Amino acid sequence: METVAENKCFGGVQGVYSHASKATGCDMTFGLFLPEEARDGPVPVLWYLSGLTCTHENAMVKAGAQGWAAEQGIALVFPDTSPRGEGVADDDGYDLGQGAGFYVNATQDPWKPHFQMWDYVAEELPALVTSEFAIDAERQAITGHSMGGHGALTLAMGRKGQYRSVSAFSPICHPTASDWGRKQLKAYLGTDEAAWARHDAALMMRDVGFDGPMLVDTGTSDQFIDLLKPEALAEAANARRQEATLRLQKGYDHSYFFVSSFMEDHIAFHAEALYA
């Protein structure tokens, strides 16, 4: 692992690090905010998964999360959204390939050799950061925006017991029934739609749910709301009687102005679960 940058931030340290990933077969970069409390021992961690076209840097710079995390004594990890580099498959579209990993383990060529983002986020990167930094592996929570909201919800429901709480900003809730999903799931996982179900939050909610608190915010003026399908997740949560707070925020869109407006709520929500 190499240190790209470290800056003092709200009494703690905002770092950027790179490492050779076995899961993705290439070098990966991630951001990590450690609050001041990490000097004295391991702290709980909140994972933030970003959306289409993003790198580790978008949320790290735009979400306004570090101040609220410092107040709660929580670490933040900002992974990249896909493998990158020479020899890594890509596509001309913004919504497939580099910058659009969709947090799945690809089974189809040309994506299979590198696009193992589920394993990277759920297993490899947590093992690395908990071994190299003062982070408590037993106290993890997860959130994300858009494609990252999809990843946060499906990882939380698919990795039983790993995360104490889950939240999402404008998540892609029902990708098997959306143009933001069908294209990518077919490319990465093939034509058997049964293999897609474990990467669809609405379907997973009906199937397994989440054993813990859930918070989801979507703006009523989100320009992509028809692709996000928040109503599908709400219907599934109601059918399962899932513990969840699902909110439509009047007038907000899909941008980081929206994300930063509700970041305090989300970090406080996770802090309650992480310190329970």
Alpha carbon of 204 to those of 4, 53, 62, 123, 166: distances in Å?
Answer: 37, 25, 30, 20, 14
Could you say which DSSP state residue 93 is in?
Answer: S
Domains in the chain, number: 1
Residue 242's pLDDT is what? 96
CB atoms within 10 A of CB 235: 16
Beta bridge partners of 31: 16, 78
Q: Sign of the CA dihedral 127, 128, 134, 135?
A: negative
Residue 190's pLDDT is what? 98
Structure tokens at 237: 């949560």
From 159, 157, 132, select the one nearest 77 (Cα to Cα).
132
Residue 97, C-beta contacts closer than 8 angstroms, at least 6 positions apart: 82, 89, 90, 91, 111
Rounded to whole angstroms, the maximal C-alpha distance in the chain is 50
**CA–CA distance, 168 with 147 (Å, rounded to integer):** 10
Residue 188's pLDDT is what? 98
- What number of residues does the chain have? 276
Residue 235's pLDDT is what? 98
> Which residue has tokens 């297993």?
123
Residue 269's pLDDT is what? 98
- Per-residue pLDDT of the chain in tens (276 residues, 90 and over written 9): 999 999 999 999 999 999 999 999 999 999 999 999 999 999 999 999 999 999 999 999 999 999 999 999 999 999 999 999 999 999 999 999 999 999 999 999 999 999 999 999 999 999 999 999 999 999 999 999 999 999 999 999 999 999 999 999 999 999 999 999 999 999 999 999 999 999 999 999 999 999 999 999 999 999 999 999 999 999 999 999 999 999 999 999 999 999 999 999 999 999 999 999
Residue 170's pLDDT is what? 98
- Give the gyration radius of the chain's Cα atoms: 17
From 215, 218, 213, select the one nearest 249 (Cα to Cα).
218
Residue 191's pLDDT is what? 97
pTM of the model: 0.98
Question: β-strand 43-49 against 75-78: which pairing, if any?
Answer: parallel
Residue 239's pLDDT is what? 97
Question: β-strand 166-169 against 214-219: which pairing, if any?
Answer: parallel
Residue 56's pLDDT is what? 98
**CA–CA distance, 28 with 50 (Å, rounded to integer):** 15
Parent domain of 91: 2-274
Residue 100's pLDDT is what? 98
Residue 158's pLDDT is what? 98
Could you give the residue numbers annotated as active site?
146, 222, 254
- Find the CATH number of the domain harbouring 51: 3.40.50.1820
